[in-house]
Chains A and B, each alone.
Chain A
Amino acid sequence: MENKILKTEGLSAFYNENEAVQNVSVSFPKNEITAIMGPSGCGKTTFLRCLNRMHELTDGASIDGKILLNGENLNELEPIKVRRQIGMVFQHPNPFPTMSIFNNVIAGYKLNGIDKGEEEFRWIVEKSLKEAGLWEEVKNDLHKKGASLSGGQKQRLCIARALAINPEIILMDEPTSALDPVATKHIEELIGNLTKNVTVILVTHNMSQAGRVSDYAMFMYLGEMMETGNTDKMFTNPKKEITEKFLTGKIG
């Protein structure tokens, strides 16, 4: 039986009166890639943003229910500490424009004034960039600004940045939807290699990507979690009719 690192119990998310996520109870397997898919507007991004307590940053946003990380209720912890455990990569690559590539990777330390020392930072940067599959391309240009990279490279830089602080889980919100097919392929490959050290939860509206990349899949529709299960099994033999409709392109 797989180890479940993250669990939600009756999680609902609201924007003022509007219930965007309805009563979701799921668990995520550790060191696996879980894809959350569904048509646009089904609440999957909102759900994802609850997991690292980013949802509450929006005006009028609120949640109900529990989120448990290794058994601890996230809502009883400082959001700032939750986010060190659960990192995030966004849809639009956004390295910090005023910082070099080197400093972008270790931004999680530098911006908090944490000094690990020159040597250790270099080690962290190399390790994170290698995990993100970017090291070879930028190793001689680490002092250059992050804005000088291509879209795909920027996104890999953002992944390296998220990895550098050693989170247990990385959330990815449509990480390749703003990228070209070649960049997308690069990133899909590296996601596969990340699970040695982290658990990946990936939101995507592209179900073939979900099929290619993930071990475990969840299907959301209109705010409700419709079906979850092993990816291969769900894709070949969906349990619910609505899941089947989504997978065959009839909805979304």
Chain B
Amino acid sequence: MGKKSLRNKKNNKSGGESYSSSDFPFLWSFKNKLFNSGLFLAGITVILIVAGIFVSLIIASLPSIKEFGIDFLFSTKWNPVIEKFGALPFLVGTLLTSFLALAICIPFSLAISILLGEYFTEGWFASLVKTLTELLAGIPSVIYGFWGMFFLVPVVRYLENVIGVQPYGIGIFTSSLILAIMIIPYSASLGRDVIEMVPSEYKEAAYSLGATRFEVIKKIILPYSRSGIFAGIILALGRAVGETMAVTMLIGNSNKMPDSIFSPGNTMASVIANEFNESTFELYTSSLIEIGAVLFIVTIVINLVGKYIIKKFEVET
């Protein structure tokens, strides 16, 4: 393709000045290519960062993997002094806190979802609830933890006295409480989106048969948006599993297997936060990083499963 310059149009114009039509920025074609390359460079950088995270975690865990193998995940002994590291207490801690938090949060986030998705889709009250929910998600984790230390702990301590267990105040239960509050916004907003997406034809068909609003919610809306709500719960779980600071401040930092939900304990995230800066030798550091790698894989799987369910739901709608 040859490049020809266009002739000046002076001869075509009547009156006024004429302008050269080759008014282009200097090296525009090169700049186009440069810009495009810049786009791809940015994209590849991000992809490499994510790939790099995975690779680095694995490589840095190798000393621990080589030393303990698969027993790492099943052993309950975490003892830096004798250089034996087993992560089971933390896996259990994470499981307990996350699922307990989930169980507590579900009715609340469902209530918000139904409120915003069905009863109040517009108006000042809806905006207020929406804003408050988003603000709830915006409060930093460390402040949740701090507040929990001074507000939740005495309450839980009182409760434990009443029940008759050791009144630590801190522990798995307390962490689950704060986690529950923190993850409400995540499943609530997703739940609201899917509930709003229920096609009005189905709702109207039910109304025209004389159903009450509650019945429409119970028999049409909720079953229809079931998978979307479930996805929201899964994503909230992913969030709960990875949550660090608030849990660290309320869980009691104990490396023994928890006896009950009122015992102190540690989660995968909190043990790393608590001990990483104290890990003075390679095996110790590597074991903590291996826990980080497990955490990484678990949260990715949970998140991707949740997002996959949402995609499927959107396609079906």
Residue ranges of A at the interface with B (Cβ–Cβ < 8 Å): 70, 72, 75-78, 80-81, 84-85, 108-109, 112-114, 127, 165-168, 196-197
Contacts and interface: CB of A to CB of B under 8 A. Distances in A.
A70 B16 contact: no
Interface in B1-50: 1-7, 9, 12-14, 16, 18-19, 21-25, 28-29
Counting contact residues on chain B (CB < 8 A from A), the size range is 20 to 34
A123 B316 CA distance: 58
Given A80-B28, A85-B6, A112-B24, 13 more contacts: A72-B4, A72-B6, A76-B2, A77-B4, A78-B3, A81-B5, A84-B6, A84-B22, A112-B25, A165-B19, A165-B21, A168-B9, A197-B13
B210 to A, nearest CB: 45
Interface in B200-226: none
A150 B22 CA distance: 33
A7 B24 CA distance: 26
A127 B3 contact: no
7 contacts: A80-B24, A81-B24, A85-B6, A165-B19, A167-B21, A168-B9, A197-B14
Nearest to A78: B3
A197 B21 CA distance: 15
A77 B16 contact: no
Contact of A166 (B5, B19, B22, B24): B19
Contacts of B4: 72, 76-77
B282 to A, nearest CB: 54
A166 B3 contact: no
Contacts of A166: 9, 13, 18-19, 21
Contacts of B22: 81, 84
A196 B14 contact: yes
Nearest to B22: A81
Contacts, number: 51
A113 B3 contact: no
Nearest to A127: B16
A112 B7 contact: no
Contacts of B1: 75-76
A81 B21 contact: yes
B73 to A, nearest CB: 49
A55 B29 CA distance: 20
A112 to B, nearest CB: 5
Nearest to A73: B4
Nearest to B23: A114
A96 to B, nearest CB: 17
Given A85-B6, A127-B16, A197-B14, A113 B21 contact: no
B12 A168 contact: yes
Nearest to A5: B12
B21 to A, nearest CB: 4
B25 A77 contact: no
A171 to B, nearest CB: 16
The 5 nearest A-B residue pairs measured at CB: A84-B21, A114-B23, A113-B25, A166-B19, A112-B25
Contacts of B13: 166, 197
Which of A84, A85, A165 has the most chain B CB atoms inside 10 A of its CB? A84
A109 B24 CA distance: 9
B6 A77 contact: yes
A127 B4 CA distance: 30
A32 to B, nearest CB: 14
Contacts of A78: 3, 29
Contacts of B5: 81
Nearest to B26: A113
A85 B21 contact: yes
A72 B2 CA distance: 12
A197 to B, nearest CB: 6
Contacts of A84: 6, 21-23
A91 to B, nearest CB: 25
A81 to B, nearest CB: 6
A112 B18 CA distance: 18
Contacts of A75: 1
A72 B7 CA distance: 10
Contact of B3 (A77, A165, A197): A77
A114 B4 CA distance: 21
Contacts of B16: 127
Contacts of A127: 16
A154 B25 CA distance: 27
Which of the listed residues B2, B3, B16, B19 has the most CB atoms from chain A within 10 Å of its own CB?
B19
